[in-house]
A = this chain, B = another copy of it.
Amino acid sequence: MRKVYHEALDEIAEGLVEMTHLAASAMTRATTALLDADVQLADSVIAADAEIDARREALDLKAFDVIALQQPVATDLRIVVTGMRMSSDIERMGDLARHVAKVARLRYPDSAVPAELRGTFREMGQVAERIVEKAGSVIAARDVDAARELARDDDAMDELHRQLFARVTSADWPHGTEAAVDITLLGRYYERFADHAVSIAERVVWIVTGEWSPESESDHEDAEDADR
Protein backbone atom coordinates (compact mmCIF):
# COMPACT_ATOMS: atom_id res chain seq x y z
CA MET A 1 0.00 0.00 0.00
CA ARG A 2 2.77 2.42 1.00
CA LYS A 3 4.66 1.54 -2.14
CA VAL A 4 1.67 2.30 -4.35
CA TYR A 5 1.22 5.52 -2.46
CA HIS A 6 4.75 6.78 -2.96
CA GLU A 7 4.65 5.75 -6.58
CA ALA A 8 1.52 7.84 -6.96
CA LEU A 9 3.25 10.87 -5.43
CA ASP A 10 6.22 10.39 -7.75
CA GLU A 11 3.91 10.07 -10.72
CA ILE A 12 2.28 13.37 -9.87
CA ALA A 13 5.64 15.13 -9.76
CA GLU A 14 6.77 13.45 -12.99
CA GLY A 15 3.50 14.34 -14.66
CA LEU A 16 3.98 17.99 -13.71
CA VAL A 17 7.53 18.01 -15.05
CA GLU A 18 6.32 16.54 -18.35
CA MET A 19 3.67 19.23 -18.51
CA THR A 20 6.36 21.91 -18.12
CA HIS A 21 8.19 20.41 -21.13
CA LEU A 22 5.00 20.58 -23.17
CA ALA A 23 4.40 24.19 -22.12
CA ALA A 24 8.01 25.10 -22.93
CA SER A 25 7.73 23.52 -26.36
CA ALA A 26 4.39 25.25 -26.98
CA MET A 27 5.68 28.73 -26.15
CA THR A 28 8.92 28.23 -28.07
CA ARG A 29 7.06 27.07 -31.17
CA ALA A 30 4.46 29.81 -30.76
CA THR A 31 7.26 32.37 -30.72
CA THR A 32 8.74 30.94 -33.91
CA ALA A 33 5.30 30.89 -35.53
CA LEU A 34 4.87 34.52 -34.54
CA LEU A 35 8.24 35.71 -35.82
CA ASP A 36 8.23 33.64 -39.02
CA ALA A 37 4.50 34.04 -39.72
CA ASP A 38 4.41 30.23 -39.91
CA VAL A 39 0.74 29.37 -39.92
CA GLN A 40 1.23 25.59 -39.95
CA LEU A 41 3.37 25.84 -36.86
CA ALA A 42 0.80 28.14 -35.24
CA ASP A 43 -1.91 25.58 -35.97
CA SER A 44 0.15 22.79 -34.46
CA VAL A 45 0.60 24.81 -31.25
CA ILE A 46 -3.14 25.48 -31.11
CA ALA A 47 -3.94 21.80 -31.65
CA ALA A 48 -1.33 20.59 -29.14
CA ASP A 49 -2.90 22.56 -26.31
CA ALA A 50 -5.53 19.83 -25.96
CA GLU A 51 -2.76 17.44 -24.89
CA ILE A 52 -1.73 19.78 -22.05
CA ASP A 53 -5.37 20.10 -20.97
CA ALA A 54 -5.76 16.31 -21.01
CA ARG A 55 -2.60 15.83 -18.96
CA ARG A 56 -3.89 18.30 -16.43
CA GLU A 57 -7.18 16.50 -16.12
CA ALA A 58 -5.50 13.10 -15.71
CA LEU A 59 -3.14 14.52 -13.12
CA ASP A 60 -5.95 16.12 -11.16
CA LEU A 61 -7.90 12.87 -11.11
CA LYS A 62 -4.85 11.06 -9.85
CA ALA A 63 -4.28 13.67 -7.13
CA PHE A 64 -7.91 13.46 -6.15
CA ASP A 65 -7.73 9.67 -5.88
CA VAL A 66 -4.61 9.86 -3.77
CA ILE A 67 -6.34 12.21 -1.32
CA ALA A 68 -9.50 10.10 -1.20
CA LEU A 69 -7.85 6.68 -0.98
CA GLN A 70 -4.55 7.31 0.79
CA GLN A 71 -5.51 10.21 3.03
CA PRO A 72 -2.10 11.84 3.04
CA VAL A 73 -1.16 14.29 5.80
CA ALA A 74 1.49 16.95 6.39
CA THR A 75 4.05 17.30 3.59
CA ASP A 76 2.45 14.60 1.44
CA LEU A 77 -0.87 16.40 1.54
CA ARG A 78 0.88 19.65 0.65
CA ILE A 79 2.46 17.90 -2.34
CA VAL A 80 -0.83 16.58 -3.63
CA VAL A 81 -2.92 19.72 -3.12
CA THR A 82 -0.17 21.97 -4.43
CA GLY A 83 0.32 19.62 -7.36
CA MET A 84 -3.23 20.37 -8.42
CA ARG A 85 -2.46 24.07 -8.29
CA MET A 86 0.71 23.65 -10.30
CA SER A 87 -1.16 21.69 -12.94
CA SER A 88 -3.54 24.68 -13.17
CA ASP A 89 -0.60 27.03 -13.63
CA ILE A 90 0.95 24.92 -16.37
CA GLU A 91 -2.36 24.40 -18.14
CA ARG A 92 -2.80 28.17 -18.16
CA MET A 93 0.71 28.57 -19.57
CA GLY A 94 -0.37 26.29 -22.41
CA ASP A 95 -3.38 28.55 -23.00
CA LEU A 96 -1.11 31.58 -23.18
CA ALA A 97 1.14 29.88 -25.75
CA ARG A 98 -2.02 29.08 -27.73
CA HIS A 99 -3.02 32.75 -27.53
CA VAL A 100 0.35 33.75 -28.98
CA ALA A 101 -0.11 31.21 -31.78
CA LYS A 102 -3.57 32.62 -32.47
CA VAL A 103 -2.17 36.10 -32.97
CA ALA A 104 0.37 34.62 -35.41
CA ARG A 105 -2.49 32.91 -37.24
CA LEU A 106 -4.66 36.03 -37.28
CA ARG A 107 -2.02 38.18 -38.98
CA TYR A 108 -0.80 35.54 -41.43
CA PRO A 109 0.71 35.99 -44.05
CA ASP A 110 2.11 39.05 -42.25
CA SER A 111 3.95 38.84 -38.96
CA ALA A 112 2.19 40.52 -36.05
CA VAL A 113 5.58 41.77 -34.86
CA PRO A 114 7.18 44.79 -36.53
CA ALA A 115 10.82 44.26 -37.54
CA GLU A 116 12.14 46.58 -34.85
CA LEU A 117 10.57 44.43 -32.10
CA ARG A 118 11.59 41.01 -33.40
CA GLY A 119 14.64 40.93 -31.13
CA THR A 120 12.54 41.72 -28.06
CA PHE A 121 10.08 38.94 -28.83
CA ARG A 122 12.84 36.49 -29.59
CA GLU A 123 14.25 37.26 -26.14
CA MET A 124 10.84 36.98 -24.50
CA GLY A 125 10.45 33.57 -26.09
CA GLN A 126 13.86 32.51 -24.80
CA VAL A 127 13.16 33.74 -21.28
CA ALA A 128 9.77 32.00 -21.36
CA GLU A 129 11.35 28.71 -22.36
CA ARG A 130 14.10 29.06 -19.76
CA ILE A 131 11.76 29.96 -16.91
CA VAL A 132 9.32 27.11 -17.50
CA GLU A 133 12.11 24.57 -17.87
CA LYS A 134 13.57 25.87 -14.61
CA ALA A 135 10.16 25.53 -12.99
CA GLY A 136 10.21 21.89 -14.12
CA SER A 137 13.62 21.35 -12.54
CA VAL A 138 12.45 23.03 -9.35
CA ILE A 139 9.52 20.60 -9.17
CA ALA A 140 11.72 17.58 -9.95
CA ALA A 141 14.40 18.42 -7.39
CA ARG A 142 12.30 20.41 -4.87
CA ASP A 143 15.11 22.91 -5.13
CA VAL A 144 14.34 25.97 -3.02
CA ASP A 145 17.44 27.88 -4.09
CA ALA A 146 16.67 27.38 -7.77
CA ALA A 147 13.09 28.46 -7.04
CA ARG A 148 14.38 31.77 -5.72
CA GLU A 149 16.75 32.16 -8.64
CA LEU A 150 13.88 31.81 -11.03
CA ALA A 151 12.59 35.19 -9.89
CA ARG A 152 15.54 36.73 -11.73
CA ASP A 153 14.30 35.34 -15.03
CA ASP A 154 10.96 36.87 -14.23
CA ASP A 155 12.70 40.22 -13.69
CA ALA A 156 14.23 39.85 -17.15
CA MET A 157 10.76 39.20 -18.59
CA ASP A 158 9.35 42.23 -16.80
CA GLU A 159 12.13 44.41 -18.18
CA LEU A 160 11.43 43.22 -21.73
CA HIS A 161 7.75 43.84 -21.12
CA ARG A 162 8.46 47.37 -19.92
CA GLN A 163 10.54 48.02 -23.04
CA LEU A 164 7.66 46.90 -25.22
CA PHE A 165 5.23 49.21 -23.46
CA ALA A 166 7.59 52.15 -23.68
CA ARG A 167 7.99 51.56 -27.42
CA VAL A 168 4.31 51.00 -28.18
CA THR A 169 3.20 54.09 -26.28
CA SER A 170 6.00 56.34 -27.52
CA ALA A 171 4.93 59.38 -29.54
CA ASP A 172 6.70 58.12 -32.69
CA TRP A 173 5.17 54.61 -32.86
CA PRO A 174 4.78 54.23 -36.63
CA HIS A 175 2.95 50.88 -36.94
CA GLY A 176 -0.61 51.92 -36.23
CA THR A 177 -3.17 50.94 -33.63
CA GLU A 178 -3.80 47.36 -34.71
CA ALA A 179 -0.13 46.49 -34.29
CA ALA A 180 -0.13 48.30 -30.93
CA VAL A 181 -3.08 46.19 -29.78
CA ASP A 182 -1.35 42.98 -30.92
CA ILE A 183 1.90 43.90 -29.20
CA THR A 184 0.09 44.89 -26.00
CA LEU A 185 -1.68 41.55 -25.76
CA LEU A 186 1.35 39.54 -26.80
CA GLY A 187 3.44 41.28 -24.17
CA ARG A 188 0.86 40.44 -21.56
CA TYR A 189 0.74 36.76 -22.63
CA TYR A 190 4.50 36.36 -22.20
CA GLU A 191 4.51 38.22 -18.92
CA ARG A 192 1.66 36.13 -17.49
CA PHE A 193 3.42 32.97 -18.72
CA ALA A 194 6.46 33.91 -16.62
CA ASP A 195 4.25 34.84 -13.64
CA HIS A 196 2.82 31.33 -13.59
CA ALA A 197 6.34 29.88 -13.57
CA VAL A 198 7.08 32.08 -10.54
CA SER A 199 3.92 30.81 -8.86
CA ILE A 200 5.05 27.24 -9.43
CA ALA A 201 8.41 27.99 -7.85
CA GLU A 202 6.70 29.64 -4.88
CA ARG A 203 4.49 26.62 -4.44
CA VAL A 204 7.52 24.32 -4.34
CA VAL A 205 9.05 26.55 -1.68
CA TRP A 206 5.82 26.19 0.25
CA ILE A 207 5.89 22.41 -0.01
CA VAL A 208 9.45 22.29 1.25
CA THR A 209 9.42 24.99 3.90
CA GLY A 210 5.74 25.10 4.81
CA GLU A 211 5.54 28.80 4.23
CA TRP A 212 5.19 31.28 1.45
CA SER A 213 8.27 33.31 0.81
CA PRO A 214 6.87 36.81 1.27
CA GLU A 215 9.80 38.38 -0.57
CA SER A 216 9.26 36.29 -3.63
CA GLU A 217 5.52 36.83 -3.54
CA SER A 218 5.84 40.57 -3.25
CA ASP A 219 8.41 40.71 -6.07
CA HIS A 220 6.00 38.79 -8.17
CA GLU A 221 3.18 41.19 -7.37
CA ASP A 222 5.34 44.24 -7.99
CA ALA A 223 6.52 42.80 -11.26
CA GLU A 224 2.98 42.17 -12.37
CA ASP A 225 2.02 45.71 -11.52
CA ALA A 226 5.09 47.27 -13.10
CA ASP A 227 3.55 47.52 -16.52
CA ARG A 228 0.67 49.64 -15.29
Contacts and interface: CB of A to CB of B under 8 A. Distances in A.
Interface of A: 64, 67-68, 71, 73-74, 77-78, 81, 84-85, 88, 95, 99, 102-103, 106, 165, 168-169, 173, 177-178, 180-181, 184-185, 188, 224-225, 228
Total copies of this chain within the assembly: 2
Contacts of A74: 68
B99 A81 contact: no
29 contacts: A64-B77, A64-B78, A67-B67, A67-B77, A68-B73, A81-B81, A81-B84, A84-B85, A85-B88, A95-B224, A99-B225, A99-B228, A102-B225, A102-B228, A103-B228, A106-B228, A165-B181, A168-B177, A168-B181, A169-B177, A169-B178, A169-B181, A177-B180, A180-B181, A180-B184, A181-B181, A181-B184, A185-B188, A185-B228
